[in-house]
Amino acid sequence: MREIKTVTILGANGAMGSGSAGVIAAFGGAKVHMLARDVEKAKQGIEAAVASVKTDTIRARMIPGSYDADLEKAVAESDWVFELVAESYEVKEPINARIAKARRPGTIVSTVSSGLSIGRLAKAYDEDGQKHYYGTHFFNPPYKMILCELVTHSGNDKKVTQALGEYLDKVLGRAVVYTNDTPAFAGNRIGFQLMNEVAHFAEKYADKGGIALMDEIMSGYTGRAMGPLATADFVGLDVHKAIVDNIYDNTKDEAHETFKLPGYFQKLIDAGKLGMKSGGGLTKVVKHADGKREKFVYNIKTGEYDPYPKFDIPFIKEARQKIKDSDYKGAMDIVKNASGFEAEIARYFISRYISYSLSLVGEVVDTKENTDGAMGFGFNWVPASAFVDFLGGPKETIKMMEASKIPVPKLLKDAKEGKKFYELGDKLDARSLFKG
């Protein structure tokens, strides 16, 4: 296993920078150079790192510094340089040029980018540097979300990849998922496909309940703690746009059209309504004079915010009760057999999610366990393979996909009936991700 004693974090004051630094200093016991635009910001990053992992013991080995004054010296003595500056080539490339000059042979350099090409970023380095350049896509907040997508590119050395993977897994306690250098990698490609297509359906069915209805149809009984549109609102519509635009521009697969940003998302972004971080987006919460909070939802047709509605959809109620009683197959039987357009939409998206996850095996990842891990550990969504089992196996799942006019991936066509399809059960109990 690779020994990593000294680490430089660039972007130390951001949520991801400080959170990742906390994990590296605590679990890894490493000395960490915390670099930001100025030393004061770096010091704030140290305090945020301490708070994120809740241990004062790391404070003494975190050293604040600035890019201008300290980058070269910090990089020169580091075993790993972890760059978490803003998500654009314009910002990252000049920084990489400086790191490339200062780094010692053998030092690992990685980026947390959730979408940029790792191969392109690696070009700033000489041959040894390219060999040691990776994407280490941590999720937010890093202490709680243990997924790390380890993104490789064609210039990497398999031995170094293995050693880094072992370090991330055994020392830092990450659930490591190996992905190829493709747009948005595994987790975001699958997650944002679903979120964006659900957003299109919200527009299509704007007069029937729109955003709130879609999140109700895709609520906890479908294997996620938060509805897809609530998730988009949580991560921010600007971030959502950046991710889906990147995938739309750089991929051509069966779901290509579903990555087009819906018009009303752009409208909200233009109005500065970016989601929870800006006080409102797809939803907003208003605090009344008496202290009570009321939730509102964006009406796509009128552009106004309406009180968040409650729905009474019988099959969802029944499925939820089954989940509550830990009868997961019973819940899926209800979903499979329910009538009405809401049930059709539920079946469509469950099918789409499973199909799209499995279709990326071979392109984005080498095995389905990697997409399963990405969704289970990174999004807290029931992994696609586990869904196949809860639905009653490959045949039943294919039946549902065909009825929903969703392509059936080869991996599922070739799967053996009567054998568990989900293989991460010992690491991740998929049942815990359903919400009743």
Partner 1 sequence: MSEKVFVLGGEQTDFQRNWTKEGKTFMSMMREVLDDALEKVGISYDEIKRLNKENRVAVFVGNFDAEQYANQGHLGAFLTEVNPALYGVPGARYEAACASGSVALDAAITHIRAEDYDLAIVLGVEVMKTVSSSVGGDFLGTAAYYEKEAKGVQFPFPKLFGKLADVILERYELKEERFMDALAEISRINYANAKRNPKAQTRTWFMNKEHAMARGGDNNMAVGGRLCITDCSQVTDGAAVTILASKDYTKEYAKKTGRKVDDIPRVKGWGHRVAPITFEAKKQESVGDKYILPWTRQTVKDAYKRADLDVKHIDVFETHDCFTSSEYAAISAFGISEPGKEHIAIEEGTIDFGGKKPINPSGGLIGVGHPVGASGVRMMLDLYKQVTNTAGDYQVKGAKNGLMLNIGGSATTNFVFILGK
Q: Which is nearer to partner 1, 29 or 303 (CB)?
A: 29
How are strands ordered across the β-sheet holding 283-287? Answer: 283-287, 293-298, 305-307
Antiparallel, parallel or unpaired: β 147-152 and 133-138: antiparallel
Tokens 């995938």 label which residue? 247
Minimum distance of partner 1 from residue 116's CB (angstroms): 28
Other CB atoms within a 10 A radius of the CB of residue 2 amount to 17
Q: Which stretch binds partner 1 (CB under 8 A): 282-290, 319-327, 358-366, 391-399?
A: 319-327
CA atoms within 13 A on the CB side of 1: 12
Smaller CB distance to partner 1: residue 50 or 269? 50
Q: Binding string, 166-205, against partner 1, x = CB under 8 A?
A: -------x--------------------------------
Measured distance CA(71)–CA(66) in Å, rounded: 7
Question: Does 29 engage in binding with partner 1 (CB under 8 A)?
Answer: yes
Type of residue found at 131? K
As a whole number of Å, the end-to-end CA separation of the chain is: 42
Per CB under 8 A, does 393 bind partner 1? Answer: no
For residues 59 to 98, the per-residue mask of contacts with partner 1, x marking binding by CB under 8 A and - elsewhere, is: ----------------------------------------
Count interface residues toward partner 1 (CB under 8 A): 29
Site for partner 1 in 211-230 (CB under 8 A): 220, 225
Q: CB-wise, 167 or 201, nearer to partner 1?
A: 167
Check: CB of residue 151 under 8 Å from CB of residue 179: yes
Q: In terms of CB distance, is 173 or 236 closer to partner 1?
A: 173
Where b means 16+ CB within 10 Å and e means fewer, 68-100 reads eebbeebbeebbbbbbbbebeeeebeebbeebb
Q: Does 379 bind partner 1 (CB under 8 A)?
A: no
Q: How far is the CB of 431 from partner 1 (least distance, A)?
A: 7
Nearer to partner 1, 312 or 414 (CB): 312
User: Judged by CB under 8 A, which stretch of 23-31, 227-235, 342-350, 353-361 contacts partner 1?
Assistant: 23-31
**Please, are residues 138 and 20 in contact by the beta-carbon 8 Å criterion?**
yes
User: Which among 280, 277, 283 is positioned nearest to 239, based on CA atoms?
Assistant: 277
Q: According to the binding rule CB under 8 A, does residue 436 interact with partner 1?
A: yes
Q: What is the contact surface with partner 1 in residues (CB under 8 A)?
A: 23, 26-27, 29, 50, 53-57, 143, 146, 173, 220, 225, 320, 323-327, 426-427, 429, 431-432, 434-436
